[in-house]
C-alpha cells in the first residue's frame, strides 16, 4: 500500500515521465495556472498603486500559493526514491533535493520562509520576492513543448558549446585588433582591451549602439570584417538548434508511427530480415 501510494503520487507529480491520465492532466493544468498567476502577481506588485490598493489580496494569495507549492515540494521529495537513481530512502532523497529541478522548487518558496523566520527589512524582502520568478522555470516540468526544447539543447550541447567558444574567441580577437588600431587616436573610447570587448560584443551581435565607433581607416577595415564574421557566426547556433529540432521531430514521428513494416507481410523490417524478405 505504501509503495503503491508513493508510485501514484510520483506519477501525478511527473506528467512528463509517467502516463497521461485524467488526474495527471488536472494537476498539470492547475499547477501551470498557479505558476502563471504567481508570475503575474509578482509583476503587478511592482506597480505602486496596485500594491497599495490590493496589498492584502497579494499577501493572502502568496500564503496560499506557498502552502500549495510547499506541499507539492514535500511530496516530490517523499516520492522521489520511486525512481531508480534516487532509490535510497535517505541519500536518494538528498540527491534529489540538490538536483536542478528540486532547487528551483526550493528557491520558489524559500523567500517566504526566510521573511517569516528571520525577518528582513523591506528593501531586502523585495529583492528576495523577485526569486518567486523561479516558479516560472518550473513550467519546464509541465509542458511537453519545453521538454522538447530541453532535449534539443541537451542533444546538441557539444556543438553549441563549440559555437560559444568560437564566439568567445572571435570577441577577444576583435577587441584586440580594434584596440591596437584605435587606442592612439585623440579622445579614443577604446582605452583598454576589456573596454573594447563591450564594443566587440555589440558589434558581433549586430546591435551597434554607436557608443564606441572606430575612426581610423584600419580600425574601420577591422570592424567591417568583424561585422561580417559576426553575421556568419550567429547563424551557426541557429543551424545547430534547427538540426536538433528536426532530429527530435523525426524521433517523435517514429515513436508515434512505430517501426517501418514490410509492405508484403506487414511485419517490422528488423524482424522481417530473419524471414528472408
The enclosing domain of 52 has a CATH number of 1.20.120.350
d(CA 254, CA 25): 24
**pLDDT band for position 21 (cuts 50, 70, 90):** low
Higher pLDDT, 204 or 130: 204
Highest mean pLDDT: which of 11-20, 61-70, 115-124, 228-237? Answer: 61-70
Q: For residue 152, is it within any domain?
A: no
On whether the CB atoms of residues 158 and 244 are closer than 8 A, the answer is no
**Within a domain: residue 148?**
no
Could you give the number of structural domains in the chain?
2
In a domain, 44, yes or no: yes
Min mean pLDDT across 80-89, 93-102, 223-232, 266-275 is at 266-275
C-alpha cell recorded at residue 116:
517569516
The whole-model pTM stands at 0.58
Check residue 125 and give its pLDDT.
Answer: 54
Pair 16, 118 in one domain = yes
pLDDT of residue 84: 75
Q: Which of 108, 142, 176 corresponds to the end of one domain?
A: 142
Same-domain check for residues 167 and 77: no
Query: For 76-105, what is each residue's pLDDT tens digit?
Result: 888 888 777 888 778 888 888 888 778 878
Domain for residue 92, yes or no? yes
Whether residue 273 contacts residue 182, with contact meaning beta carbons closer than 8 Å, is answered with no
CA–CA separation, 182 vs 239, rounded Å?
A: 35
Considering only 51-60, 84-93, 110-119, 191-200, which range has the smallest mean pLDDT? 110-119
The answer to whether residue 8 sits within a structural domain is: yes
| Residue 261 pLDDT | 62
- What integer pLDDT is reported at residue 273 of this predicted model? 46
**Domain CATH number, residue 259:** 1.10.287.70
Neighbours of 111 (CB within 10 A): 22
What gap in Å lies between CA 174 and CA 260, rounded to an integer?
A: 51
Assess whether 7 and 136 both reside in one domain.
Answer: yes
Quick one: 27 and 119 in the same domain?
yes
User: Does 150 map to a domain?
Assistant: no
Per-residue model confidence (pLDDT) at position 126: 55
Same domain, 66 and 163: no
How high does pLDDT run on average in the chain?
78
The confidence score (pLDDT) of residue 138 equals 60
Pairwise CA distance, residues 242 & 248, whole Å:
10
Distance CA 151, CA 236 (A): 19
- Considering only residues 199 and 29, tell me which one the structure prediction assigns the higher pLDDT: 199
Q: What is the pLDDT of residue 244?
A: 85
* Band (19; pLDDT cuts 50, 70, 90): low
Confidence category of residue 22, pLDDT binned at 50, 70, 90 = confident
Range of the domain at 13: 2-142
Amino acid at each position: 500500500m505504501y509503495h503503491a501510494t508513493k508510485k501514484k503520487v510520483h506519477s501525478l507529480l511527473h506528467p512528463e515521465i509517467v502516463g497521461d491520465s485524467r488526474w495527471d492532466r488536472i494537476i498539470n493544468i492547475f499547477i501551470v495556472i498557479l505558476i502563471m498567476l504567481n508570475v503575474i502577481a509578482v509583476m503587478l506588485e511592482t506597480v505602486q498603486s496596485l500594491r497599495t490598493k490590493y496589498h492584502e489580496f497579494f499577501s493572502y494569495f502568496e500564503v496560499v500559493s506557498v502552502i500549495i507549492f510547499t506541499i507539492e515540494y514535500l511530496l516530490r521529495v517523499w516520492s522521489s526514491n520511486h525512481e531508480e537513481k534516487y532509490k535510497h530512502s535517505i541519500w536518494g532523497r538528498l540527491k534529489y533535493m540538490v538536483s536542478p529541478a528540486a532547487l528551483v522548487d526550493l528557491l520558489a518558496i524559500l523567500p517566504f520562509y526566510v521573511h517569516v523566520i528571520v525577518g528582513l527589512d523591506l528593501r531586502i524582502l523585495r529583492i528576495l520576492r523577485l526569486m518567486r520568478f523561479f516558479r516560472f522555470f518550473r513550467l519546464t516540468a509541465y509542458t511537453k513543448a519545453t521538454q522538447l526544447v530541453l532535449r534539443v539543447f541537451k542533444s546538441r550541447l557539444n556543438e553549441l558549446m563549440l559555437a560559444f567558444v568560437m564566439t568567445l574567441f572571435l570577441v577577444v580577437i576583435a577587441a584586440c585588433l580594434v584596440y591596437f588600431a584605435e587606442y592612439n587616436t585623440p579622445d579614443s573610447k577604446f582605452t583598454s582591451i576589456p573596454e573594447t570587448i563591450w564594443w566587440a560584443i555589440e558589434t558581433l551581435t549586430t546591435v551597434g549602439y554607436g557608443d564606441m565607433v572606430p575612426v581610423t581607416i584600419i580600425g574601420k577595415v577591422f570592424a567591417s570584417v568583424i561585422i561580417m564574421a559576426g553575421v556568419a557566426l550567429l547563424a551557426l547556433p541557429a543551424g545547430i538548434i534547427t538540426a536538433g529540432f528536426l532530429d527530435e521531430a523525426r524521433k517523435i514521428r517514429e515513436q508515434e508511427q512505430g517501426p517501418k513494416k514490410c509492405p508484403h507481410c506487414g511485419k517490422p523490417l528488423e524482424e522481417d530480415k530473419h524471414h528472408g524478405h
